[in-house]
Amino acid sequence: MPATRSSKAAQTDSRRPLLPAPTANIIPCRIAGSGKLARALARAISENEHNGGGLRLSGIFARNETAAAAIARNTGAPKYGQITDIRQLEGLLLICVSDDALPAVARQLAGMPAAGGALVAHLSGALDLSPLASLQQRGIATGSFHPLQSFPEGAGPETFRGIYASLLGPPEATAQLHRLAAELGCTPLVVSAQQKKQLHIAAVFASNYMVALAHLAGRSVPGLALPVTEVLRPLMETTLQNIFAKGTTAALTGPVSRGDTGTVQTHLRTLTADPFLQDDTLPAAYRLLGRVAASQALSDGRLSPETYRELLTLLSEPHGSAG
């Protein structure tokens, strides 16, 4: 069935049954947003529906109606339109918009009629439920569903399989989101509001800053004939395997973990004196991460307190460089 524009569709949509309980067979899902995550989620829900799963993609709504129409066309969603065309809240509405836009979208939705059992959930990793306060004030159930994954352009249903998804909300909301996670192939993890913020910080370290570290590695060897990430790929992959197999402290290797102060001194001289490495970010990052590594090595007894203090002195920020 071709997608229909929302204004007419919303009238038809309002005559549908109310959202089923979490134990019912089908969860009707609508998506608000048109970014990479919204597109990946729409593909995943559509595949689940076509494979006889427990989800149904009921519509795509976004500020950019053209983008919403394209997603609906590519996934078979029967309805599309702008967010203001949703008309009535019912079923499960998944908000996939930027963090800054979320409160305004919630206020738009709060002005719409709501069917019994409606649940509105955002997919922000950093935010708790406070941006949805305008909906809560109307007695509309809210929650948060955050897949702990990166979603590049073209990401599909497989991107959700085998990952964790953090769930936040009252029990009736997390029960429904638990079902959504299971249908998508995610492992659900119910968290508190504080844990959610902490988990997002951890994800930034583990994902975004891992990319930043690879970038710094590349800047450390300018002019190499091959990309540094290609040369270091076996080392990086083995390091990740060791982290998963042994844990972060046991996987730590290198001069700091051995207490090799001479090598650390040589590295710092190179980073600060090499004419091809005139980049203050490199020695600052080396010192900061070196202090973290030294603390790890001290914690499992590989460094003596004396060597640890010597390393901290070497790795401290030069006077006048703070800030």
Helix (H) or strand (E) holding 104: helix 102-110
Domain extent for 301: 197-315
Q: For residue 130, is it within any domain?
A: yes
CATH number for 50:
3.40.50.720
Please indicate, yes or no, whether residues 155 and 227 belong to a single structural domain of this protein.
Answer: no
Residue 20 falls within a domain, yes or no? yes
pLDDT tens by residue, 4-41: 665 434 333 333 333 334 445 799 999 999 999 999 99
Give the three-state DSSP class for 322.
coil
Do residues 34 and 140 share a domain?
A: yes
Query: What per-residue confidence (pLDDT) applies to 2?
Result: 55
Instruction: Name residue 56's beta-bridge partners.
Output: 28
Of 146, 163, 191, the position where a domain reaches its end is: 191
- Structurally, how many domains does the chain consist of? 2
- The model's pLDDT over 179-231, given as tens digits with 9 standing for 90+, comes to 999 999 999 999 999 999 999 999 999 999 999 999 999 999 998 999 999 99
Q: Is residue 322 part of a domain?
A: no
Residues 207 and 174 in one domain: no
Residues 145, 272 within the same domain: no
156 and 170 share a domain?
yes
Q: Are 96 and 42 in contact (CB under 8 A)?
A: no
Tally Cβ neighbours within 10 Å of residue 124.
Answer: 20
Q: Are strands 141-147 and 119-122 parallel, antiparallel or unpaired?
A: parallel
Locate 129 and state its tokens.
Answer: 């439920």
Angle between helix axes 171-184 and 36-50 (nearest 10 degrees) is 70
Pair (99, 185) in one structural domain: yes
Q: Residue 11 is which amino acid?
A: Q
Which domain CATH number covers 215? 1.10.1040.20
3-state helix, strand, coil in the chain (%, to 5): 50, 15, 35
The CA-based angle 8-12-14, given to 5 degrees, is: 115
Determine, yes or no, domain membership for 320. Answer: no
How many angstroms separate the CA atoms of 189 and 144, rounded? 11
Same domain for 125 and 229, yes or no, is no
187 belongs to a structural domain? yes
Q: Are residues 112 and 147 in the same domain?
A: yes
Same domain, 181 and 231: no
Residue 323 lies in a domain: no
Same-domain status, 154 and 268:
no
CB-neighbour burial class of residue 75 (10 A; exposed 0-12, middle 13-18, buried 19+): buried
Are 187 and 203 found together in one domain? no
Concatenating the DSSP letter of every residue in 186-208 gives: PEEEE--HHHHHHHHHHHIIIII
pLDDT string in tens for the chain (323-residue length): 556 665 434 333 333 333 334 445 799 999 999 999 999 999 999 999 999 999 999 999 999 999 999 999 999 999 999 999 999 999 999 999 999 999 999 999 999 999 999 999 999 999 999 999 999 999 999 999 999 999 999 999 999 999 999 999 999 999 999 999 999 999 999 999 999 999 999 999 999 999 999 999 999 999 899 999 999 999 999 999 999 999 999 999 999 999 999 999 999 999 999 888 888 899 999 999 999 999 999 999 999 999 999 999 999 988 655 44
Residue entry with tokens 């270091």: 232
Q: Is residue 214 part of a domain?
A: yes
Is 82 in contact with 7 (CB distance < 8 Å)?
A: no
Contact 122, 144 (CB under 8 A): yes
- Choose one of 173, 191, 209: the last residue of a domain: 191
Query: Does residue 321 sit within a domain?
Result: no
Query: 191, 223, 245 — which closes off a domain?
Result: 191
